[in-house]
Amino acid sequence: MAFTRHLLLLLAAAATITATAATDDTAPSPPPSPTPWPDLFHAVLFTNLTNYSMASTGPPLRLTDLYYDWPRRRNLNLVRHQLSPDPLYDVEWNNGTTFYFDSSSCRVERFDVGVLPPTWLSGGAAAEYMGRCVTGGIDCHVWGKAGFIVYYEEVATGRPVRWDFIDVTGIQQFVMSYEVGVVLEDSQWQAPAHCFPDEENEQDTKEEEVADGLEAARLLKKLADAAIAF
């Protein structure tokens, strides 16, 4: 089982891969390793909360623009619920501060972890290789990590194709476009004035509202936490 192929085996396999190919035809080939994320990319993700119920917060279908910016240690998710005119921003900084806001409300949270590093999947305790699978008509390698994400990468190119979180919401995210090197202009990262209210006028009433729809971002934070812990 792929489950039993642990880190030592992966390390040993990586060290001997070229020699093995030349000298021992009978040895099983080592499982492939996930491609690190590029330092900069923009991806459009189609998101489905597959375990949606009327009790869930927020509608189940979203489009998310993900801007990953490792050189500046920041990550932005621009989340659009189906037919909603007001997108949600989730701006994450490496110091753990995260701003969630839309045009009228804002919530600021502090996390113990920063932005996911490009090697979050292959680094630390390596992801468990789960084999090959065709999803969305694309031939993929599949890995699981830390018991809460299943990650699909295109065999031919190493591009991310899809990831599913093992979570009660059953979140699945499908990469619809993927542009390496694309950055979002600085002004778009700036949290708006209503994230910095005067102490006296502070209103917490809208905080719950803006939290809707950010399950995937929260799970990625949890993943960053696990990437450090494991």
Which CB sits closer to ligand NAG, 182 or 191? 191
Could you tell me if 56 and 50 are in contact, meaning their C-beta atoms sit under 8 angstroms apart? no
Q: Which of 16, 35, 48, 84 binds ligand NAG (CB under 6 A)?
A: 48
Rounded Cα gap, residues 215 and 178, in angstroms: 21
50: contact with ligand NAG by CB under 6 A: yes
End-to-end CA distance of the chain: 21
Close Cβ partners of 72 (under 8 Å, ≥ 6 residues apart): none
190: contact with ligand NAG by CB under 6 A: no
Stretch that binds ligand NAG, among 28-36, 93-101, 213-221, 222-230 (CB under 6 A): 93-101
176: contact with ligand NAG by CB under 6 A: no
Residue appearing with tokens 């949890």: 222
Stretch that binds ligand NAG, among 10-18, 47-55, 63-71, 154-162 (CB under 6 A): 47-55
In this structure, is the dihedral angle defined by the CA atoms of residues 182, 185, 188 and 190, taken in order, positive or negative? positive
CB of 220 to ligand NAG, least distance (A): 18
Find the DSSP H helices in the chain. Answer: 7-23, 207-211, 215-229
Could you tell me if 7 and 31 are in contact, meaning their C-beta atoms sit under 8 angstroms apart? no
CB of 10 to ligand NAG, least distance (A): 30
55: contact with ligand NAG by CB under 6 A: yes
**How many residues belong to the site for ligand NAG (CB under 6 A)?**
10
Which residues bind to ligand NAG, rule: CB under 6 A?
A: 48, 50-51, 53, 55, 61, 93, 95, 97, 168
